[in-house]
Amino acid sequence: MKQQNIYDNKEFFDGYQSMRNNLSANELIEIPQLFKLIGNVENLSILDLGCGTGKHDRKLIGMGARKVTGIDLSNNMINEATKNTNSDKIEYKVMSMNDIDKLDEKFDMVVSSLAIHYIEDYDGLCKKVYNLLVDGGRFIFSYGHPMDSCAILNNYSNNYVIINDKKYFLISDYNNEGKRVSHWFVDGVETYHRNMSHLVNGLIDAGFKLERMEESYATDEAIKLKPKYIEQKDHSYYIYFKCKK
């Protein structure tokens, strides 16, 4: 199953980099919550799926991880990660998440930040991650909230309507899983929608014990810095899973 390599599209990559260099929801909401779930990484060997520019990998080493392997399908991302990293404890590979079963080592932890929704075979990925972990190892990841990704829209329309100056999100097609094609910096960005039971049962069927599931929220500080995120009081952008082998 071929994974779309949208991050090697220059227009998309430039738009994404510009967004991440500002006060994005990733910086104010997703990353703090993800790392709270990750917790103590002292002396752990970690695999990062969809490592992007390696920011998380550098942070994990700074938190005491013994080794981090970051994989990403995008040459643009790996080039940026390599350029910005000065540590022999971090290794980067241009690799699709579909191919992680080719890695010839075991990890104490596998993490992923908003990348798994690009993968068509979620169930297969969960099984591959399980096989790459040592006994007692953990799989911790964030994912676009399925209530946000469910609506199938034509012409890249917004997935919400505004009534009395408030956004109301569309939840039609929630149980109609599969590919979603949207406009995000460019047309034709491919992701995959799964309902909540699929996300949970994919982990359970792979053999994992689910330890924690959380939905995103915006702190008062985040809302003060970016008032638009007050809508998180009603609607979560992301969901997080922490599970154990």
- The alpha helices in the chain, defined as continuous H runs, are 10-20, 25, 31-38, 55-62, 75-83, 122-132, 146-149, 196-206, 220-225
pLDDT at 4: 78
**Across 105-127, average pLDDT:** 97
pLDDT tens digits, one per residue of 11-52: 766 766 776 667 788 889 999 999 999 999 999 999 999 999
Query: Can you tell me the distance from the alpha carbon of 17 to that of 110, in angstroms, rounded to the nearest whole number?
Result: 24
At residue 16, the 3 state secondary structure works out as helix
User: What is the pTM for the complete model shown?
Assistant: 0.92
pLDDT at 2: 73
Query: Can you tell me the distance from the alpha carbon of 172 to that of 70, in angstroms, rounded to the nearest whole number?
Result: 36
In this structure, what DSSP letter does residue 54 have?
Answer: S
Q: Which fold has domain 6-144+195-219+237-244?
A: Rossmann fold (3.40.50)
- Domain ranges in the chain? 6-144+195-219+237-244
In this structure, what DSSP letter does residue 84 have?
Answer: T
At residue 157, the 3 state secondary structure works out as coil
Helices 196-206, 122-132: inter-axial angle, 10-degree rounding: 40
Residue type at 81 in one-letter notation: A
Structure token digits, residue 152 = 């199938």
Residue 63 has pLDDT above 90, yes or no: yes
Among 59-68, 130-139, 202-211, 218-227, the least confident range: 218-227
User: CA of 232: how far to CAs of 8, 69, 138, 240, in Å?
Assistant: 31, 33, 28, 15
Structure token digits, residue 207 = 């053999």
pLDDT at 25: 87
Query: Can you tell me the distance from the alpha carbon of 20 to that of 35, in angstroms, rounded to the nearest whole number?
Result: 17
